[in-house]
A and B are shown apart, each in its own frame.
Chain A
């Protein structure tokens, strides 16, 4: 329609910053301006109205009460080295009480800039598949969506980030400390089992907002697709053996990502067989905590020249990192 105000996916931007209190923008936010593919940002408010079956107006519905927002949706992006630490922290790092941190997320659209307060990662999935790029998928739930009319496109800066995500081609994968080279796809899924609190009135907001979003028991699963070349998974199923998994990504620019699942049990393993392809195994594994209370161990390092993303795991420390391991990122 000529003359219409239109914009495209590439006109939209997203930035994320940790909050110090649930639903409160940090006084000096440290924004991660995260690129995302078309359709990648799905966090949005909905308005599930109260619709009583009153029959007051006959067959026409007359009553529909707007009394709350429900803010949920996904954020799908790629494992850009400069932002991966922030995204993994969002989905994995718990505080001393086992809670996740909450985040402020700005979603710039030219016609309706929005701010999400109190966003929490319900789910995190790291997936590498056919195109070889490591994808990050966050399932989000937030306290409230607000207008952010002062937000402009110029608030977003991508000039210093590395535009090549971590990729499978740069990964070394190990199962039970044995190097495997035939993994075509894998995904690590983390469910934080976030419980949403009741709707409460908040000063300055006309409708109710979520009182709290509390993280529950963490469930981590690993799905693999690889050649069926041994009885490793079947034996683990039959005998209840435990496995380990490790993925180390060495980015061509010297960055490093390390993921470890130190104790896995195999619940089942599908086997695909066809006329045209070798038989493949698709084991489904569940992570448990090991004796160190680690169910997942991870590290991101922006080496070799910068050390801005310091926190690394305390086990299996990367050998090429330029940033000394300082803190553990796992907890019970």
Chain B
């Protein structure tokens, strides 16, 4: 099956995140939602720090008679073990830096129709862990990849 432009952009963003020095040095588990056998998506201390990049939302509107404006929302999830919020903040800041750089060069996909990335939302939540005595921090960062595509 050929890859859609949505997958290409999501994986390009994931590759940028994985190439970042701070993230590469600190993230233990990259949950990439790729092909293969079913993986366990368990957020436990042993898998943290964990980063996951998933599709979140999509819409489409006409920017011109033959040009669609397509905002592709992607959610980047971060989970860190322990009740200290600092590790989650370190990773979130690194993610935002990567997104800013990707926005500057349009993910190197301007020829395909990407014309910028926006950060829509960053949410923190302290969650109870069933296998640990203390909390973990979960960060949800929603990124929008702005597309211009020829209307179907």
Contacts and interface: CB of A to CB of B under 8 A. Distances in A.
B100 to A, nearest CB: 12
Interface in B112-151: 113-116, 148-151
Interface stretch (A34-42, A54-62, A256-264): A34-42
Nearest to A167: B115
B107 to A, nearest CB: 9
Contacts of A9: 62, 65
A159 B150 contact: yes
A169 interface: yes
Interface in A135-161: 156, 158-159
A40 B149 CA distance: 19
Interface in B57-86: 62-67
A36 B62 CA distance: 10
Contacts of B110: 162, 164, 251-253
A125 interface: no
Interface in A16-39: 35-38
A78 B115 CA distance: 14
Nearest to B109: A252
A198 to B, nearest CB: 36
A12 B64 CA distance: 10
Given A164-B110, A252-B105, A253-B110, A12 B65 contact: yes
A236 B130 CA distance: 70
A252 B106 CA distance: 7
A224 to B, nearest CB: 23
A35 B65 contact: yes
B34 interface: no
Q: Is the interface of A mostly helix, strand, loop or mixed?
A: loop
Contact of B111 (A40, A162, A167, A169): A162
Nearest to B107: A252
A10 B152 CA distance: 11
B4 to A, nearest CB: 17
Given A38-B65, A252-B110, A164 B151 contact: no
**Contact residues on B (Cβ < 8 Å of other chain), bracket:** 10 to 19
A164 B148 contact: yes
A180 interface: no
A38 B62 contact: yes
A78 B65 contact: no
Interface residues of A, number: 23
Contacts of A13: 65-66
Contacts of B62: 9-10, 37-38
B64 A35 contact: yes
A253 B67 CA distance: 17
Contacts of A36: 64-65
A252 B65 contact: no
A164 B115 contact: yes
Contacts of B63: 37, 78
A253 B65 contact: no
Contacts of A38: 62, 65
B42 to A, nearest CB: 39
Contacts of B111: 162, 253
Nearest to B62: A10
Interface string A292-307: 0000000000000000
Interface of A: 9-13, 35-38, 40, 77-78, 156, 158-159, 162-164, 167, 169, 251-253
Given A163-B113, A164-B110, A251-B110, 13 more contacts: A9-B65, A11-B65, A13-B66, A35-B66, A35-B67, A36-B64, A38-B62, A78-B64, A158-B150, A162-B110, A164-B113, A164-B115, A253-B111
The 6 closest A-B pairs by CB, nearest first: A252-B110, A35-B64, A163-B148, A164-B115, A252-B106, A253-B110
27 contacts: A9-B62, A10-B62, A10-B65, A10-B151, A11-B65, A13-B66, A35-B67, A37-B62, A37-B64, A37-B65, A38-B65, A77-B64, A78-B63, A78-B64, A156-B66, A158-B150, A163-B67, A163-B113, A163-B148, A164-B106, A164-B110, A164-B115, A164-B148, A167-B116, A252-B105, A252-B115, A253-B110
